[in-house]
C-alpha cells in the first residue's frame, strides 16, 4: 500500500520571475533559506515544518499560483512502482534525480483529478 511509504508534506512549489525577490520576501516573514542553487534558479525556505520551494518559472505566474505539492517518502522506487500499478496518471515516466541538497533527491509527479501536480520526493 502506497501510504506506508508516505511521511507527510515535504514542500509547496511556487514559480517566480525573480528568485531573489521571492527569497527576500519570505525571509522578511521569518523564513530561513535552507538551500539555494544559483545555476538552477531554485531556493528552499523553511518556517517551522512548512517548506516553500521557489524557482524561476517558464510561464508567467498568476495570482495565487502554486505549482505543485510534494509528499515526502521513505522509498521512492516502491512508491513509483505502486503508483504505476494503481493506474495513476504519471506526469514523469521515470524517477528523476537532481543534485539538490548534500546528497541529491529523487522525485516523480502524478496528475490529480483537477490537473494538480502531486510530487513524491525522497531526499537522498
pLDDT (tens digit, 9 = 90+) per residue, 5-16?
Answer: 999 989 998 888
Q: Report the SS3 class of residue 18.
A: coil
Tens digits of residue pLDDT in 35-46: 988 777 899 999
CA distance 66 to 100: 21
Tens digits of residue pLDDT in 107-116: 999 887 667 7
- Whether the pTM exceeds 0.85: the reply is no
Q: Which residues pair with 92 in a beta bridge?
A: none
Q: Taking the CB of residue 44, how many other CB atoms lie within 10 A of it?
A: 22
33 pLDDT exceeds 90?
yes
pLDDT at 60: 62
Q: Name 47's Cβ contacts closer than 8 Å, sequence gap at least 6.
A: 26, 29, 30, 31, 32
Burial label for 73, CB within 10 Å (0-12, 13-18, 19+), is buried
Q: 46-55 b/e with 16+ CB inside 10 Å = b?
A: eeeeebbbbb
The residue ranking higher by pLDDT, 96 or 62, is: 96
Q: 4-35 b/e with 16+ CB inside 10 Å = b?
A: ebeeeebbebbbbeebeebbeebeeeebeeee
Q: Does domain 2-123 fall into CATH 3.20.20.80?
A: no
Query: By the 8 A CB rule, do 45 and 36 touch?
Result: no
pLDDT at 77: 97
Tens digits of residue pLDDT in 44-90: 999 888 898 888 876 666 666 777 888 899 999 999 999 999 899 99
Amino acid at each position: 500500500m502506497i501510504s506506508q511509504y508516505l511521511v507527510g508534506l515535504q514542500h509547496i512549489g511556487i514559480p517566480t520571475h525573480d528568485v531573489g525577490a521571492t527569497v527576500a520576501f519570505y525571509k522578511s516573514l521569518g523564513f530561513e533559506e535552507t538551500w539555494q542553487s544559483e545555476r538552477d534558479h531554485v531556493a528552499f525556505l523553511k518556517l517551522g515544518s512548512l517548506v516553500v520551494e521557489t524557482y524561476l518559472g517558464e510561464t508567467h505566474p498568476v495570482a495565487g499560483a502554486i505549482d505543485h505539492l510534494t509528499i515526502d517518502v521513505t522509498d521512492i522506487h516502491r512508491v513509483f512502482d505502486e503508483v504505476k500499478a494503481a493506474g495513476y496518471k504519471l506526469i514523469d515516466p521515470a524517477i528523476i534525480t537532481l543534485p539538490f541538497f548534500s546528497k541529491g533527491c529523487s522525485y516523480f509527479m502524478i496528475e490529480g483529478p483537477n490537473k494538480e501536480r502531486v510530487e513524491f520526493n525522497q531526499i537522498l
